[in-house]
């Protein structure tokens, strides 16, 4: 009796408790592994999700319709980012690569290689011309987004780089990781301007 009751309790999903005034619109359930990151395009029309199942999925944000699945990574996909136009999408993975995709068709445009560890974070600059990637082997890399050319490598972190963001001008990149300081970089030169929180 107690075993049956235990089995029944295990099968029932937990009820999602939402704050007052918050309504669940829909649940997107096509991934077959943990979802590591989600990003909207600039217009809010398309949502990208990346997962331990090695795929990136693109969803129509209003209806929740699955538009396409992007396959090609050989490891867990850790981060995704749309360029400012929403026409291109970048993904970073445990396979130590960054892949650039045509968001409208799902076509793989190119694969960027050079990291020696998991790619944990990626970001486009406001113009969409430069792509930054960082991860498990500490350096941040700046790429020319159109050609895939490696522009420069920024070294200074002492542990994994987990998050990055360009300032609105695209001239400064901020990167943060497991070590305390957030680092600010001059994009044009690759020079580290300062470390925030370093004592």
Torsion of CA 12, 18, 22, 26, to 10 degrees: -20
Phi, psi (rounded to 5 degrees) for 93: -140, 165
Alpha-carbon distance of 145 to 85, in angstroms, equals: 13
Q: What residues contact 168, with CB distance under 8 A and at least 6 apart?
A: 126
21 HSE (CA, 13 A, CB side)? 0
Please check whether residue 49 is in contact with residue 92, taking contact to mean a CB–CB distance below 8 angstroms: no
Note down pLDDT in tens along the chain; length 199 residues.
Answer: 444 444 444 444 456 677 787 876 767 787 787 788 899 999 999 999 999 899 999 999 888 889 999 999 999 999 999 999 999 999 999 999 999 999 999 999 999 998 888 999 999 999 999 999 998 867 899 999 999 999 999 887 878 888 999 999 999 999 988 766 888 999 999 998 888 876 4
Beta-bridge partners for 20: none
Cα end-to-end span (Å), the chain: 61
Alpha-carbon distance of 76 to 35, in angstroms, equals: 10
**CA 124-127-130 angle, 5° bins:** 45
- What pTM did the predictor assign? 0.82
Q: What residues contact 22, with CB distance under 8 A and at least 6 apart?
A: none
Q: What residues contact 84, with CB distance under 8 A and at least 6 apart?
A: 42, 124, 126, 127, 128
Which tokens belong to 84? 């400012």
Alpha-carbon distance of 177 to 52, in angstroms, equals: 21
Alpha-carbon distance of 145 to 162, in angstroms, equals: 20
Alpha-carbon distance of 13 to 152, in angstroms, equals: 48
């Amino acid at each position: 009796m107690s075993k049956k009751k235990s089995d029944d309790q295990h099968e029932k999903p937990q009820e999602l408790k939402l704050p007052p005034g918050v309504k669940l619109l829909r649940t997107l359930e096509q991934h077959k592994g943990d979802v590591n990151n989600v990003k909207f395009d600039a217009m809010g029309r398309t949502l990208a999700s990346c997962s331990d199942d090695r795929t990136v999925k693109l969803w129509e944000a209003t209806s929740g319709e699955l538009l396409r699945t992007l396959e090609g990574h050989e490891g867990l996909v850790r981060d995704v980012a749309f360029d400012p136009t929403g026409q291109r999408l970048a993904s970073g993975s445990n396979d130590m690569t960054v892949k650039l995709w045509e968001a409208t068709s799902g076509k793989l445009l190119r694969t960027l290689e050079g990291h020696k560890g998991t790619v944990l974070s990626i970001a486009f600059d406001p113009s969409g011309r430069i792509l930054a990637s960082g991860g498990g082997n500490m350096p941040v890399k700046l790429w020319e987004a159109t050609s895939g050319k490696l522009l420069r490598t920024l070294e200074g972190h002492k542990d994994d780089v987990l998050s990055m963001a360009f300032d609105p001008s695209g001239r400064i990149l901020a990167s943060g990781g497991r070590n305390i300081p957030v680092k600010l970089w001059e994009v044009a030169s690759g020079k580290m301007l300062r470390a925030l929180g370093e004592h």
